[in-house]
Structure formats: structure tokens, C-alpha cells
Amino acid sequence: MGAGGNISLGGPLLDDGAVRTLTVTGGSGTVTIAGGAPGASPASTLDTLLVTASDGAGRIRVGSVSTVAAQSYDAGTGGIELGGNITTLGSAGADTVGFADAVTLTGNSSITTAGAAATTS
């Protein structure tokens, strides 16, 4: 895939119960994480999700995503679109949600953590 290609993960993000981290790095294309249906409760969830549009011109689109630990979204200046529920299910302080760009809501959305902060920078 070229540097401007798109990355799309269209279904729920599940793991096998072991500690896992998924890192998705796009170029100038769009990174789409559709996730599961809002309110879905998968049997096991991904531990950490890191999504980056590496050249700063890409866009990140996020649906509903649950993780046990942190979630981080960095689109540079391309923008982040949130159209679902972001949930971290870990322990307080270890399950942060971070957005390193402006977030545009494209649907009903919520951000829920076990006590850690959700941040934008």
C-alpha cells in the first residue's frame, strides 16, 4: 500500500485474552476503526490501541471501541471523527484516552474510563 493509502478495520476488535497492543499507522490516507456496535460487550477486549496518521495529513474515524487499557488517537492536523462510544475497562489511572487533534462528533458518542482522564492536546 502506498503512503496515501487508507486503512479500514470494519468489525469489532477482539483479542485472545493475552495482553495485546494494536498499533495502526497510516500515512496521508484515512484510518477507520469501525469497532463494534455501540454498547457491545465482546467476550475479551483489546488491551491497548494506538492509532496514528503518521504524516500529519491523514484523518482518523473512530466508531465504538472497548479496550482494557489505553487508547491514543493522533491525526496530526488531519482531524479525528468520533461516531461511537470509547470505553476503557482497566484500572483507574492505567486506562487513559488521548486525542492529539481536534475531535469532530459524527454521531452520538461517549467516552468512559475506569477513572483515568480523557485528554486532547
Q: Is the pLDDT of residue 8 over 50?
A: yes
pLDDT digits (tens, 9 = 90+) for 9-40: 777 666 666 777 788 887 777 888 776 554 44
Q: Is the pLDDT of residue 1 over 50?
A: no
Q: Contacts by 72-79 with C-beta closer than 8 Å and gap 24+? A: 72/96, 72/97, 72/98, 72/100, 73/98, 73/99, 73/100, 73/101, 74/98, 74/99, 74/100, 74/101, 75/100, 75/101, 76/100, 76/101, 77/101, 78/28, 78/53, 79/104
pLDDT digits (tens, 9 = 90+) for 35-78: 655 444 443 456 777 777 666 567 888 888 888 778 888 887 78
